Amino acid sequence: MNSLSKWLFAVLFLTIINLLAQEQVQDSIVKIQAATFFELHAMQPIYYGENFISEGYDVSNAVQIGVTYQGFLKHLSLHFNIGLYSGRVERPEIVGFFESSQFTRVSAGVGYPFKITDKLSLTPSLHYGYVKLGHKLREGEFSVLENEIADDGSFIALEGRAHYALVEWLEISLGVTNYVDRLRIEVPDSREQFFNRSNAIAPFLGVRFRINSW
Amino acid sequence: MRQRIHKYISVAWVVLLASCGTSLEDNKRNIYNVEVRDVNDTALENIEINVAIFRGMTNVGTEFPLRSFLGFVGADVTDNQGQASVLSLSLGPDNTRSLPYVVINGDEQVSGFFMDNTTFLNPEYGSIAYEVRRTEGNEVFLPAVTLKRRATLQLEINKADVTNDTLIYTLDYEKDVQLFQLGTEQQDVLEQIQGNVQTAGEVVQTQVRTLQNTLAMFTYILRNNGDSTPISIEIPITQENQVYEFSF
């Protein structure tokens, strides 16, 4: 099964689960209130599969900040996120001659939130974004090469998250995001797959603040 | 004197070149495929291969290479088959005066002005570097590399008290650091020293760094009242410390 089929299957599966869940808890569902949230998450990306990041990096914790608008087309939520983390290159012979890299993800997404109770809500969402790996060269004693080099590309991400309201304006977030990256690194054909596709799953924990609601 | 001026100009040139930065290309990697064997055709494992960027004029084989080292962009070691596919970063398209060099068993000195200061990562063997043209594409296959063991050749010339002849000599030998341009026909990289012996009873000793399984060529002219024909003597380098004595 290729990755596109996997994605379609996953989206379909989550949609069905949502609809069923919504059906079952319909009586208790409180109508989603339109609101805007500011979010702050700590996450740990875990790369998997055969790619240069999973096999050559030690990836740090990530910080993700975002804004969510809930109530788009009545039932949907819109997400704008920026994620930042770094990775130490453990095997430069398979990654490139770098010391470390700074990962930056910028994405927009759409979700389908539904409220289980007054305090608990679940939101599956789908995101599309831009990812950049800014590299720091391994500098030798006499090196004068300019230290600005980057790889970049796009990604899609599937996310599931739960929010629990502590008070009216503050919620705890817990979730997991699966990233599928398509980088555009020019390499010989024999290593194209290894460099241009990477996958990461990132569990996260954080808070979100209700900015306003209506 | 002329050589000294040339040397100073070369150093100034290297410093000037090194003071300017060079950019690398985003979203690009190159691969250099290398196979390293010894003179018995046995694969050499754990030989370090570096890809370095040098900037400057291309003048392989001249006495004063006008190149400056800018930095390493790739490194790997050979496997038990003596093979390595070295992943390297790529030069930006605007760096027309910089070139990558694949350096086998050597450090940043190997292609530069201070070539004789090269550190041999495996001290038993000599070092070889290939200058790679940009037209080679992003996957480059180097010719099979034969690394030879290092050696020293000590030349000792003794002049007898009774002769009035003057000996003028040259010694040609393979250096333990060799530089080739990829795509051109490989040639032995010969180094030459020269001198003369004219004082009765004089003993001249000189030592050079060379490679085992090579031939050094000692060529001399004995000059008294007129010119004489040069005579060449082959000196096979068969051991780590080779001594050759010549008396006249």
- pLDDT at position A27 over 50: no
Question: Please, where are the H alpha helices in chain A?
Answer: 3-24, 52-56, 92-95, 192-196
- pLDDT at position A176 over 70: yes
* Chain B residues close to A92, C-beta within 8 Å: 75
Q: How many residues does chain A have?
A: 214
Rounded to an integer, the average pLDDT of A30-41 is 83
Mutate to test the interface with B, among A139, A142, A181 (most CBs of B within 10 A): A142
Classify burial at B239, counting beta carbons within 10 Å of its beta carbon; exposed 0-12, middle 13-18, buried 19 or more: exposed
Query: pLDDT averaged over chain A?
Result: 88
Rounded to an integer, the average pLDDT of A118-123 is 93
Is B23 near chain A, with CB under 8 Å? yes
* pLDDT value for B20: 56
* Chain A residues close to B18, C-beta within 8 Å: 142, 144
* pLDDT value for B1: 46
DSSP 8-state assignment for residue A191: G
- Whether A186 sits inside 8 A of B27 (CB atoms) is yes
* pLDDT value for B105: 93
* pLDDT value for B211: 94
* pLDDT value for A37: 95
Is A195 near chain B, with CB under 8 Å? yes
> In whole angstroms, how far apart are CA B145 and each of A169, A182, B35, B43, B229?
69, 37, 6, 10, 38
pTM of this prediction?
Answer: 0.81
- Whether A138 sits inside 8 A of B72 (CB atoms) is yes
Find the closest chain A residue to B92 by CA distance.
A149
Is B48 near chain A, with CB under 8 Å? no
* pLDDT value for B156: 93
> Within chain B, which residues score under 70 in pLDDT?
1-21, 57-66, 110-117, 134-136, 185-188, 225-227
- Whether A140 sits inside 8 A of B31 (CB atoms) is no
DSSP 8-state assignment for residue A145: B
* pLDDT value for A203: 97
* Chain A residues close to B73, C-beta within 8 Å: 97, 137, 145
ipTM of the complex: 0.79
- CB A177, CB A202: distance < 8 Å: yes
- Whether A140 sits inside 8 A of B20 (CB atoms) is no
